[in-house]
Structure 1
Amino acid sequence: MSKEYGLVTKPEHYACVEDLLGRAGFVSSAREFTEKMLIEPDAMIWRTLLSSCSVHKNMEIGEFAANYLLELEPDDSATYVNLSNMYSVAGKWDSRDQIRQLMKNRGVKKEPGQSWIEVKNSVHAVFVGDRIHPLADRIYEFLENLNERAVRIGYVQTTKSL
């Protein structure tokens, strides 16, 4: 990139390569890439690696990435939740409980799930289970219709974290 196009490599470029490797299932290569980067990996890089590990159920590298993330961003609930979910799926209940206790001890609270929907050129935030929004009935009706359409074309919903 630098030699051929004269571009200065930024953390975002590294995160893109990290994401590409992870999405393709090359989690070990993604870790090697992270360790050989010319810059110090930031939280975005470690989060991307952890996400890939969650998708591909790579516990060892997931724990490795999570340790860096917990050091860099100890107040970010996403890392704790992601790691806890990985442990749950693997049936490692003691490890899951330790992460949840660590989260509690540090006073970290999980943010509620949130989605956005655009209605008549106005963006509205909707939290999981939120029925307070003035358009909640219409929003949930739309989502129900969307889910039905997805099922008709073959979508199968999963309740597993990973």
Structure 2
Amino acid sequence: MKRVTFCAVIAAFLACASLPLIAQDTPPPQQQRRPMPAPTNLQVLPKDISTQDLMKMMFGFTGALGVKCSFCHEINEQTHQPNFAADTKPDKKIARTMIAMVQDINSKYMTQISDPDATPEMKTVTCGTCHRGNTMPAPFVPKPEEHQGGGGQKPQ
């Protein structure tokens, strides 16, 4: 009799312990996303860039400038969808110029830095290097120099 009671208690414990697993909602089916069309009208980015890599890069731009896609890309008024290939917004032309500038700086100048302590990230400029989350980079204003003692000499 004790064995039957013990088995019943164990069975009840296992049943109660598994209730949270049984009660979990089944995950909703994956929403059907429309596949992104292949990139078109690429003028400064590689023509063979994958859609995934392009989107990753674009999200980097939006973060670096603190903007949304519509900052550079026209939005269709009827469908409310972006027209990524359109060149109607002046900011898109500016963005292309800035992307080309960053590519030029990185390939021509940053590759010449031979500091063994610098990581690859330290030898790369990005939009965020200057913009830091703003559409326009803030002008750099150095801190006033602090002088110690008199005599007008800088501390060494």
TM-score greater than 0.5 by the shorter chain: no
Higher RCO, 1 vs 2 (CA within 8 Å, ≥6 residues apart): 2
Give TM-score, length-normalised by structure 1. 0.23
Give TM-score, length-normalised by structure 2. 0.23
Return the index of the structure with the highest Cα Rg: 2
More helix by share: 1
More strand by share: 1
